[in-house]
Structures are given as C-alpha cells and as structure tokens.
Amino acid sequence: MEKTLEFPELLRLIDERSTAFRAAVASAPSLDVRVPTCPEWTLFDLVQHLGEGRRSWAATIAAGPTASAKSASEGPAAPREREALLAWSAASTQQLLDALREAGPDRGCWTWWGTSQSPQTCGAVARHQLQEIAVHTYDAQVTLGAPQPLPDEVALASDASLRGTASELVLAFYGRIPVDSLKLAGDRRLFDLLIAWEPDE
C-alpha cells in the first residue's frame, strides 16, 4: 500500500490499540500467565514494559529536538493490583499522546534509528509507537488464546516487496510469524537486515 497515515490518525490508532491492549489484560485469568510470544515475560511484565516504554518516549519527546538520548521515565512504578495497573497503563498512553500532540509531527526528536532513511521527527516516533503498541496488543491477545489481526493501517507505508496481509507483515518483522510464510520478491537479505535491526523500545 502506498498511503501514509496523517498524524491525527496515528494518534487515534495509538489510543485504539492501547484500549484493546488493556481490554485483553482486563480479561486475563491472571497477571502471572506467561506470554507465549515473549516467553521470558508474564502478562504483568508485558504491561510494565509497555507502560514504562511509553512514559520514557513521552519524556524524550517533551525534552525536544536537542535531547541526545532517550529520556528516563518519571512517575510511579507499575502497581501489582489489576485495576490500578490498568489505570497506570492508560495514564502511560495518555502521557505519550499528550507529548506527541504538544510537539506535532514535524518537530525533531531523538530516535534510536539515528540517521537511517526514517526521519528523526515526532511523526516518525508516532508511527513506531503505533507498531510497538499494536504488536504488544497482539502479544496480550495471544496470551488469552484469542489473537486478532492488526488493523491494516498499522502496516501502511511498508515500502517492501513482501506480500501478505498488513497484519502478517508487521507480525513478521517483529518475529511473531516467520517471513517465509509470506510471498517474498526481491533480495531476501534486505528483509534479514530489517528483521535483525533491533529497536530500543
């Protein structure tokens, strides 16, 4: 697909996927169940990771374009009680959305991808955050045995010669399903490089 999402749409989808994430966590039998796609984590660990990461990115965005590294997150630690944890998770998402809205899509921002082809802007950070949240929502849903495909919009602007649904493309790049299960055209090494490109969430 060649369409790219406008900044308000990215923010809407971040909010929507975060809501779906919390719904999955709310319906889990326990926060101590293991996440099959992240076997070293329990569901609580997944919520903590996602919340702390969004708070850290909110702080990085707020620090402005002159920040030289991702900023440490501030605020309370993730609580163990489920309702409090869900409220903490929602507040983490809100901090990220507020920081992105305040900055706007074109302002510069520190990014872990440095001087790659992706711009170092808040708009690019919003795109990355949407995919992170969408993939971890999938992880939470897999934990419940009820994974849902990612919305097509999450994978828009994949500029690659790999064929599958939008959901399959993002899940393949995050190592949730094998790339070989999709239709590949062109140089496979390009996709190996992309998959090996470790993000600092």
Q: Is residue 148 part of a domain?
A: yes
Q: Is residue 194 part of a domain?
A: no
Q: Which domain holds residue 15?
A: 7-159
CA distance 47 to 24: 11
This prediction's pTM: 0.80
Q: Is residue 182 part of a domain?
A: no
Q: Is residue 126 part of a domain?
A: yes
Q: What is the mean pLDDT of residues 50-64?
A: 94
User: What pLDDT score was predicted for residue 159?
Assistant: 47
Q: Is residue 165 part of a domain?
A: no
Q: Is residue 74 part of a domain?
A: yes
Least confident of 55-59, 84-88, 114-118: 114-118
Q: What is the mean pLDDT of residues 72-93?
A: 93
Helix spans in the chain (H): 7-27, 43-63, 82-103, 122-143, 166-173, 188-196
User: What pLDDT score was predicted for residue 185?
Assistant: 64
In the chain, the number of structural domains is 1
Residue 19 predicted with pLDDT over 50: yes
Span 91-114, pLDDT tens digits: 999 999 999 999 999 999 998 877
The answer to whether residues 1 and 166 touch, using CB atoms and an 8 Å cutoff, is yes
Q: Is residue 1 part of a domain?
A: no
Q: Is residue 149 part of a domain?
A: yes
Residue 1 predicted with pLDDT over 60: no
CATH code of the domain covering residue 45:
1.20.120
Which residue, 99, 118, 10, is CA-closest to 61? 99
CA distance 21 to 53: 14
Which residue, 86, 112, 72, 75, is CA-closest to 27? 86
